[in-house]
């Protein structure tokens, strides 16, 4: 609740006003049965038509007043709940975007998606319900009990005897419900993961005729979710029937006792009628309290999951140069004895050391899983090294502030994302870039010709993930995005795999001519993409097994020579 209250703090004034109106409407509503009793006992008995009409009008005014107050308060409650959940979603999304790669791996993408959708929806419903019922139900409950005690304490005590049983039932069921709904949300995470994977790979699934297989995989996680929801639903579903049973038992007891009391002239029919109306209000209030507890159970589990993300401390903080002092070097980029492990066990990168001068080029080649992308992730500080250090201009990257550090880079990855917008917007990517810079970047990336061929040119709208252009065109748009801001370090992580050799060679020439001041790092499977680099690293199982120029590696590194010969027979044509 502390987490929810923290976000409700800016809305205390609006909530106080709305709750005041709600209190007024509920009190007026609570007075209606009492007015009815007065009319039946005193006004009707006087047989004064004018008085009957006056008191009837008073009842109508009270009923309308209660209705208007409740509608107004409910609208204000909806506004507060909407703005409250908007703030939570904003902060949750903001924190999600600022999570380190390790933290994102820990939470998982499907779980983060579930937290920002289903979990925020649960909290929204709880806050809205609390404002609508959290005041009305207690007032009806306590007010109804107080008035019935005044009207007929004997009958009222019969009803009060059931209340402890009702509260114990609600508390017991609610306590059982929190862990059950937490498990439900985890199952939702699993279902979202499968749906997300299938949506991303729908073309491959259809191409390989694996729709039935994916149906079975989805059915498995769906059944698991249904099973968890069933357990939670059965447990929480006990509340309403048990409450109804106790309340009906109370009504039966009250009716039986009131009949005897009326017969013995200890009470009167008008009081019994009003008493039954109050008992109905009290019953409704108890049912509302039950619903609040049920919603609290869901929202409590959801609030914990959201708080886990929002309250996660940033792990990639800026370190002091006293702890990580700079080194003297002529290199722009320097790896010094870097070791790293994703799981904290066996190293995924082991003792990686190399240097690249400013304006130079580095090629990284190796088999799948050799550690190429991991090395790039460490360079851009998506993760921190386990041991060793990474330096840019002699300064440990852990001592750079995040924003200026990442502004050094231009990055294009093979599986990078394109969103549904124009080509120009995808290249600009929210940065302050002129049209001239965008066109120039497209020319360097060998994308200008095919973009100009579209009828609407740079205003051509791309579909989500760029499915309405070819793979090579998509990669060239991503490369144009990477070079558009003239970065100090350009990272091309297998971003030209869909390009033909001629286009790839033209791209490399354009990069060399137009970005001579930038340090270019190329990760590739093809030797032709890294052949002209000043330094080439050959990785195998997280270790450097080859280091040098293309000619040196052909002579000294058997694995590189085998890759070269298998791809091009050892010869290259530019």
- The verdict on 114 and 174 lying in the same domain is yes
Residue 538: closest CA among 366, 332, 333: 366
Strands 387-392 and 331-340: what pairing?
Answer: antiparallel
140 falls within a domain: yes
Mean pLDDT of all residues belonging to the chain: 85
Domain with residue 137: its CATH number is: 1.20.1560.10
In order of 3, 10, 22, 25, 136, the CA distances from 15 in angstroms are 17, 10, 10, 15, 14
Both 113 and 180 in one domain: the answer is: yes
Tens digit of each residue's pLDDT (9 = 90 or more) over 28-78: 888 888 788 778 777 777 777 888 888 889 889 988 998 899 899 989 999
Q: Give 263 or 174, the one with higher predicted confidence.
A: 263
- 269 & 399 share domain: no
Is residue 526 helix, strand or coil? coil
Residue 325 lies in a domain: no
Same domain assignment for residues 105 and 70: yes
In this structure, is residue 573 part of a structural domain?
A: no
Secondary structure of 102-167 in HEC code, one letter for each residue: HHHHHHCHHHHHHHHHHHHHHHHHHHHHHHHHCCHHHHHHHHHHHHHHHHCHHHHHHHHCCHHHHH
305 pLDDT above the threshold of 80? yes
Residue 31 forms part of a structural domain: yes
- Classify residue 227: in a domain, yes or no: no
Q: How many domains does the chain have?
A: 2
Together in a domain, 180 and 252: yes
**What integer pLDDT is reported at residue 569 of this predicted model?**
59
Are 358 and 292 members of one domain? no
Question: Which DSSP string corresponds to 476-492?
Answer: HHHHHHHHTT--SEEEE
For residue 158, is it within any domain?
A: yes
Place of tokens 């019994």: 272
pLDDT, residue 498, reads 75
93 — pLDDT class (breaks 50, 70, 90)? very high
Rounded to two decimals, the pTM is 0.73
From the DSSP assignment, how many helices (H) and strands (E) are in the chain?
24, 10
**DSSP line for 208-234:** TT-HHHHHHHHHHHHHHHHHHHHHHHH
Residue 201 in any domain: the answer is no
Instruction: Report how far residue 334's alpha carbon sits from residue 172's, in angstroms, rounded to the nearest whole number.
Output: 61
Region 216-225 average pLDDT: 86
Pairing of strands 519-524, 489-493: parallel
Using the structure block, give the residue that is written with the tokens 């009008």.
57
Q: In three state form, how does the secondary structure of 291-320 look?
A: HHHHHHHHHHHHHHHHHHHHCCCCCCCCCC
Residue-number span of the structural domain to which 238 is assigned:
2-185+234-310
């Amino acid at each position: 609740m502390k987490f929810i209250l923290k976000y409700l703090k800016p809305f205390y004034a609006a909530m106080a006003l709305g709750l005041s109106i709600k209190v007024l409407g509920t009190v007026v509503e609570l007075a209606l049965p009492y007015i009815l009793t007065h009319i039946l006992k005193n006004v009707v008995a006087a047989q004064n038509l004018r008085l009957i009409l006056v008191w009837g009008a008073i009842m109508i005014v009270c009923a309308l007043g209660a209705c208007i107050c409740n509608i107004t308060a409910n609208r204000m409650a909806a506004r507060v709940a909407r703005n409250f959940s908007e703030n939570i979603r904003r902060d949750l999304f903001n924190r999600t975007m600022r999570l380190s790669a390790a933290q994102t791996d820990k939470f998982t993408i499907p779980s983060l998606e579930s937290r920002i959708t289903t979990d925020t929806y649960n909290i929204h419903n709880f806050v809205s319900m609390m404002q609508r019922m959290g005041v009305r139900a207690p007032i009806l409950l306590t007010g109804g009990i107080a008035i019935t005690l005044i009207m007929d304490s004997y009958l009222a005590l019969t009803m009060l005897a059931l209340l402890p049983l009702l509260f114990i039932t609600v508390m017991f069921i609610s306590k059982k419900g929190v862990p059950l709904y937490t498990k439900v949300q985890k199952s939702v995470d699993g279902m979202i993961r499968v749906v997300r994977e299938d949506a991303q790979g729908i073309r491959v699934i259809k191409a390989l005729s694996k729709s039935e297989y994916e149906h079975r995989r989805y059915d498995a996680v769906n059944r698991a979710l249904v099973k968890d929801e069933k357990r939670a639903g059965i447990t929480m579903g006990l509340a309403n029937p048990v409450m109804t049973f106790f309340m009906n038992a109370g009504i039966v007891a009250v009716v039986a006792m009131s009949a005897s009391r009326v017969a013995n002239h200890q009470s009167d029919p008008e009081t019994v009628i009003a008493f039954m109306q109050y008992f109905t209000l009290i019953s409704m209030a108890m049912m509302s309290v039950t619903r609040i507890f049920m919603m609290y159970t869901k929202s409590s589990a959801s609030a914990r999951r959201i708080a886990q993300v929002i309250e996660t401390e940033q792990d990639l903080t800026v370190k002091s140069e006293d702890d990580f002092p700079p080194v003297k070097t002529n290199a722009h980029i320097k790896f010094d004895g870097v070791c790293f492990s994703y799981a904290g066990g066996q190293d995924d990168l082991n003792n990686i050391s190399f240097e690249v001068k400013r304006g130079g080029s580095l090629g990284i080649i190796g088999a799948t899983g050799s550690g190429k992308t991991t090395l790039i992730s460490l360079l851009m500080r998506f993760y921190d090294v386990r041991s060793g250090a990474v330096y840019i201009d002699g300064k440990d990257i852990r001592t750079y502030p995040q924003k200026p550090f990442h502004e050094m880079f231009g990055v294009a990855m093979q599986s990078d994302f394109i969103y549904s917008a124009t080509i120009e917007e995808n290249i600009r990517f929210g940065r302050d870039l002129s049209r001239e810079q965008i066109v120039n970047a497209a020319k360097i990336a060998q994308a200008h010709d095919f973009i100009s061929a579209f009828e609407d040119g740079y205003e051509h709208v791309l579909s989500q993930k760029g499915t309405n252009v070819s793979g090579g065109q998509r990669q060239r748009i991503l490369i144009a995005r990477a070079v558009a801001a003239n970065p100090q370090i350009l990272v091309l992580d297998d971003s030209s795999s869909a390009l033909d050799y001629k286009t790839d060679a033209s791209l490399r020439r354009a990069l060399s001519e137009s970005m001579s001041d930038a340090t270019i790092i190329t990760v590739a499977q093809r030797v032709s993409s890294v052949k002209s680099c000043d330094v080439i690293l050959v990785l195998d199982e997280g270790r450097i097994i080859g280091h040098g120029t293309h000619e040196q590696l052909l002579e000294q590194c058997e694995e590189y020579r085998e890759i070269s010969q298998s791809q091009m027979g050892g010869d290259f044509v530019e």
